[in-house]
Structure 1
Amino acid sequence: MSKLTHATIVPRRSSARGHADHGWLNTYHTFSFADYYDPANMHFGALRVLNEDRVAPGSGFPTHPHRDAEIFSYILRGELTHRDSMIQKGAEGKQGKQFYRMKRGDVQFTTGGSGIAHSEQNEHKSEPVHFLQIWATPWRRGLLPQYHTLSFDDKLKQKAFLPILSPLAAGENATAAEEKEATPKIPGTIPIHADFVMGAGLIGVDKRFKWRVGGPTDDVVKSQSDRNVYIHLPMTKGGNAKIRLDGREDVVLSEGDGAFVKGVNVGDELSVESIGEAEAEVIVLDSN
């Protein structure tokens, strides 16, 4: 039974997403991106891009520039190597402001700001890499470009939704020192320059997690009402994972599907039930 009767939940079916198979890249676009244009799906709150990518071995995205976007990669399977504007190879096993070869559980975050360039390559000889590429619109333009990389343990994701990103604690008017310090609102997360929280969970069969809108406490985000929460179920279990949102039978999502949750407020709890035959990996993108 629905608990959030004031919320509107609209599924975004995988079959309706943009799709392109370039051989080296098999990609699905939830929002308009590259050659896929859908005026009805340009963004959702601060969320601008949600691509589910598979890159073949020995392939990848060559060095390319970014500006004024918060860009993050969530690794689902395989490995992905990032290089920065200096074209320096990532230092394997290091985190923070280092660049390294990412594996399952790693998240790489880039503030494009006033301008950077990077590359993303699958240097494995035989295994493809499967990851989510997500972009958010920052709260202001011309920010100092930065990189962050952190690992998030699957065992913690199996207990409850684990926060991955949260707003920079110093806010929109952060000083240069505060930008360099890069303290997030939620300890242990990556700071983002947006009124935005990301979480991830691995929900066992017949289990239920609850996402608290706006993060674990009321002071994480600035916008307290009418938030935009996007739920995504990546294609990781061969089609065997399935979830139900807010107890609603008309909002059952299969792998590749997502859902727009509108009209929710900080403190609301969104129920996510795993009702398939495999553990469900669920990504939550919660913005103003």
Structure 2
Amino acid sequence: MKQIRRATERGIGHHGWLESYYSFSFANYYDPAHMGVSNLRVINDDRIAPSAGFGTHSHRDMEIVTYVLDGELEHKDSMGNGSIIRSGDVQRMSAGTGVAHSEYNPSDTNRVHLLQIWLQPNKQGVKPTYTQQHFPLNERKGVLKLLISPDGREGSIATHQEGLLYSTLLEKGASVTYLQSSERIVYVHIAKGEAVVNGEPLQAGDAIILTDELNTELTGVNQAEILLFDLPR
């Protein structure tokens, strides 16, 4: 079964310095039909203006993943971490018992474009931790690269949750196939460009939920950057 969620159907938040598109209910956007998929609770497509960002705020019991598409993002947190996240970098923060952090665009001239992803944890009250890892874009061309997992397999970032997050970059005509388990749900988000997923043409910001499919076939149409989530039922 296939269920498509078009980019134009997402919630929108305009805050001057921040332009956000919400795949699922978040902040002032509420749609009971779109509260998440499995343990995937948030995908916010954020564009932050130069020299602006999220001031210090707190989270608890959530696995938070930041995926930068363009530009740079400056991170600081109450654990003492401070870093710059760039395209190709993946940041994971396990909020656990509680962590405060800020995220700013350090550029005076360029916007930063990122995806903010929240995954519900399989353990409550863990010690907060932070990981940042670079996954070279050229190593994702034409292949599905595992970025996030429960156990750090295949060089991925280990998390306290049960989903798998893959990324691929596909040129026009390039394809990759993911073997899908009948006991899992696949959620595909087109981060950039255009692609065809199991026969369905999708553009940037579009997503598709696949259940009870034998496999997931991704084909690039226009330099597509794609995230694939393999999620528990």
Distance in 1 (CA, whole Å) between partners of 2:167 and 2:88 is: 10
- Cα RMSD between the aligned structures? 1.4
* One-letter amino acid of the structure 1 residue matched with residue 225 of structure 2: E
> Aligned pair in 2 of structure 1 residues 263, 143: CA closer, same or farther (>3 Å)?
farther
Tell me by how many angstroms 1:89 deviates: 6.6
Choose from 204, 229, 233 the match for 1:255. 204
How much does 1:84 deviate?
Answer: 1.1
Instruction: Give 1:46's aligned residue.
Output: 39
Q: Provide the residue aligned with 2:225 in structure 1.
A: 281
Question: Does residue 228 of structure 1 match 2:185?
Answer: yes
Partner of 1:19: 12
**Contact 2:182 2:211 (C-alpha < 8 Å) held by counterparts:** no
Q: Which runs of structure 2 are paired with 1:43-82 in the superposition (5 Å)? A: 43-82=36-75
Pairing of 1:1-288 with structure 2 (within 5 A): 8-85=1-78, 88=80, 90=82, 100-168=83-151, 184=152, 186-213=153-180, 225-234=182-191, 236=192, 241-246=193-198, 248=199, 251-264=200-213, 268-275=214-221, 278-288=222-232
Question: Which amino acid in 2 is paired with 1:269?
Answer: N
- Any idea what the Cα deviations from partners look like across 1:215-267, whole Å, max 9, x if unmatched? xxxxxxxxx64312111112x4xxxx321112x2xx21111111111235xxx
Larger Rg: 1
| Counterpart amino acid of residue 205 in structure 2 | G
Change (3 A) 1:127 1:89: farther
| Unaligned residue ranges in structure 1 (runs of 5+) | 1-7, 91-99, 169-183, 214-223
TM-score (norm 2): 0.95
Q: Secondary structure at the match of 2:21?
A: strand
User: Counterpart of 2:159 in structure 1: which amino acid?
Assistant: I
Structure 2, unpaired ranges of 5+: none
Cα shift at 1:140: 2.0
**Separation in structure 2 between the aligned mates of residue 233 and residue 120 of structure 1, nearest angstrom:** 24
Q: Note the alpha carbon deviations across 1:4-33, whole angstroms, 9 max, x for none.
A: xxxx11110011100111110000000000
Give the letter aligned to residue 196 of structure 1.
G
More strand by share: 2
Q: Which amino acid aligns with 1:263?
A: D
Q: Which TM-score applies when normalising by structure 1?
A: 0.78
Inter-partner Cα distance in structure 2 for 1:211 and 1:85: 38
Count of residue pairs the alignment pairs up: 232
Write the distance in 2 (CA, Å) between the matches of 1:51 and 1:117: 19
- One-letter code aligned to 1:198: L
Which amino acid counterpart does residue 224 of structure 2 have in structure 1?
Answer: A
| Letter matched to residue 34 of structure 1 | A
